[in-house]
Amino acid sequence: MQNFKAILDDICETAKNAKEKGTVASYIPELAAVDKNNFGIHLRTLDGLDYGAGNFETPFSIQSISKVLALSKAMALIGESVWKRVDVEPSGHPFNQLALLEIENGIPRNPLINSGAIVIADILLSHLKNPKEDFLNYVRELANDTNINYNTAVANSEKNTGFKNYAAANLLKSFNNLENPVDAVLDFYFHQCSIEMSCSQVSKAFFFLSNKGGDLKKIAQLTESQAKRINAIMLTCGFYDEAGEFAFEVGLPGKSGVGGGIVALLPDHYIITTWSPGLNKKGNSLLGMLALEQFTTKTKLSIF
């Protein structure tokens, strides 16, 4: 038996004392005000035991972490038809890069870059009766927590500054890869990214992927095969042009967000979430990446 609490406490202490904490995302004004000295880490094991350290109960904007949950909902709704509109290949480019989208005729490389997530948002808009309400309730059900909400100030901040997302959405529309109006799709997408959750809530929401669907399969409505595919996409595409580095250093499927959160998991073992708002040059949490590398090194629990 590993002493997970002691390991998390040690990692948290190291992170809190780190001199370099990265740079908080400033292109979304509401995120720029977050204190980069925050650090939280939370682990949930397959048998439902929870361990946390630092600010693991403090809500933060999950941003692109939400893309995985949106993808799971889209796959439950339309199954393999998702892959007619978005590919499953790593992009090797920043999350908001547009050149590949034009070269590849409006088919995003994967559903975890912005253009791919906008297509997924369009699918949800077409198939959910009350899209924003239904998606939020889906996340709440996965986490078994009705206190999870959108941060409308963050959503409006993104709406007012998300010019590249508007460019991507209009480019997708020009290739007939959006069914709904651009403004409606982006309104949903910005709200999706603005969901606030703590590390412990994120770990619980992703529990259905750690055990291939498991007890939450009825909520997620995913097959084991679909859960496996989502994990594969997280491993190869979850960190944009740093996905290879994360696999190399940490060795887990995972997903980052520019709010400073990272969720990662070892199927059939655990889910772990970190939050540290300071980002590295690739847009991933600087201390979150280091913390997860320390965790898999100390515990020897990774997929490799």
Catalytic residues, which ones? 64, 67, 189, 240, 258
- Residue 44 β-bridge partners: 50, 271
User: How far lies 158's CA from each of 23, 38, 58, 209, 229, in Å?
Assistant: 18, 22, 21, 29, 30
Query: In terms of DSSP bridges, do strands 60-61 and 40-45 run parallel, antiparallel, or are they unpaired?
Result: unpaired
Task: Kindly report the backbone phi and psi dihedral angles of residue 38, in degrees, each rounded to the nearest multiple of 5, phi listed first.
Answer: -65, 140
CB-facing half-sphere around the CA of 181: CA atoms within 13 A: 3
Quick one: tokens of 176? 């007939």
- Decide: helix, strand or coil at residue 42: strand
Query: How far is it, in rounded angstroms, from Cα 287 to Cα 265?
Result: 17
Count CA within 13 A, CB hemisphere, residue 140. 12
Beta carbons of 66 and 206 less than 8 angstroms apart: no
Element (H, E) at 263: strand 261-266
